[in-house]
Structure 1
Amino acid sequence: MINKELLRMVVGFRRFRERFFAEENSVYTRLASSGQSPKTLMIACSDSRVDPAILFSTSPGDIFVVRNVANLVPPFESSIGFHGVSAAIEFAVVNLQVENIVVLGHRQCGGIRSLFQPENIKAGGFVAQWMTIADEAKKAVLATAKTQDVDTLCRECERASIVISLKNLRSFPFIETAIRDRNLQLLGVYFDLEDGHLSAYDNASDSFQDIQVT
C-alpha cells in the first residue's frame, strides 16, 4: 500500500506533467530533442528548505545543480576514488561549458553547526569526514570571534565556508583554464532563510554585500 507521503508526491508529479507535458511543443519536448545547455552550475546544500530551482524561480534546463551537505567544494585531488562532487563540477565546466559557478550557502546549515556541536552527528561517520573541508573556515571564524554564541559563530562560518569553496574551485586545473580562456565566473551567494535576504561575496572587500531585489 502506498504511503501518504509518496501519494502526495505522485499527485505532485501529475501536476508537473500537466504543466510541462500538456502542450505538443512543451519545454521537455525541446529539452529532449536539443539536450541541456545551462549557463550556470549551482553548488547548493542538500537542506530541504533551500531548493535552488524554487529559490530562483528557474525553469527546467536553466541550472545544473550539485547538492551536498553544507554546499562544500573539496579541493582538487588526482588520486583514484569516488569524487562525486568533483565529477559533477568537471562535467558542468568541461562538457556543458557553463559560464558561471555559484556556491549557494544558507542560514541554519546543519552541516556547519556540526563543526561547533559535533555531538549532533555520528562520530567518525561520513558527515564528520566530509565537514573537515570546512575546518579552515571554522578556524578563521574562531580566530576573530568576539563571542562564543553558537548561532553567531555558525552564521559567520556559513559565509566563511563559501569563501573556502570558492578557493577550492580554483584548485581545479580545468577551472583555471576556463577562467583564463573564456571568462568563467565564480560567485558566492548566501541565503538567509530567516529573513529572506540574499547577499553575495565581494572579493575586493572580503565581505558579503546585500543584493537588492526590489
Structure 2
Amino acid sequence: MNEIFSEFIRTKEGFFSDHSHGDSYRCSATLKDGTFLPCVILRDIGRYLNEIIPRLNALDKRKSFFSKKHTNDNYENILKLYLTSGNRINNYDIKSLTKSKFAMPESLLNSIEGETTMGWTGFVLEMHDGSIFQYGTTYLVQFFDIPEKYSFEDVMKVHNHSYLNAANKIVRLQEGFMDIPDDYDISNTYRERPFFDCYVDLN
C-alpha cells in the first residue's frame, strides 16, 4: 500500500464501516495539481471486487434461452451501478491526506437513530455552548456540513427525530410522519455532503 494511505489509515481518523462497503476511512485529499477535495472515502478495492464478481457469476449460472434477454438486462443494470454511479478519484492522483472536518466521529454517528420517516432522518445537534442546529439527510451519513466556528467534537448531545421550530426550540418529530409539520423549515437544515470514493488495497 502506498505510504500516503498507510500513514493515514494508521491514525484511524475518519473510520467508517457499513454492510455494503466494509471498513473505510473518511478524509480530505489534496491532489498533485493542488486541487483540494474536502470529502473523500478510502475504500478497499478487494471488498469492492468481491461484491461485484459474485453478482455477475450468479447471472451467468441463470442464463438460458428463455432468460437471455432478462439476464443481459440485469448485466447492464449491474454494470451501470458499479461503473457509472458515484464520484471517484484515482489513488495515484493524491498527494496528501488529512482529517476531514465534515466527517462525524464514529461515536457520534452511532448516536443517530434510524429513519424518522421513509427517506428522511431528522435530528438536532446541541453544542457544548448551548447552540443548537437542525440536521437532516435522505440516506447518506458519511459527511455533513458543520456550522462555521464549530467542529463535531463540540457536539454535546444528539436530539433524534427532532427539528427546530420558528422560535428555535427543539420539537420532537412523530416517527413515520406523512405530512411535514407546518413550522418545519427543511431548507434551514445542515445536510449531507457529496464525496469522492478512492479505491485502494486496505490490506
TM-score scaled by length of structure 1: 0.21
Higher-Rg member (1/2): 2
Could you say which structure has the higher strand fraction? Answer: 2
Larger relative contact order (C-alpha < 8 A, sep ≥ 6)? 2
TM-score scaled by length of structure 2: 0.21
Could you say which structure has the higher helix fraction? Answer: 1
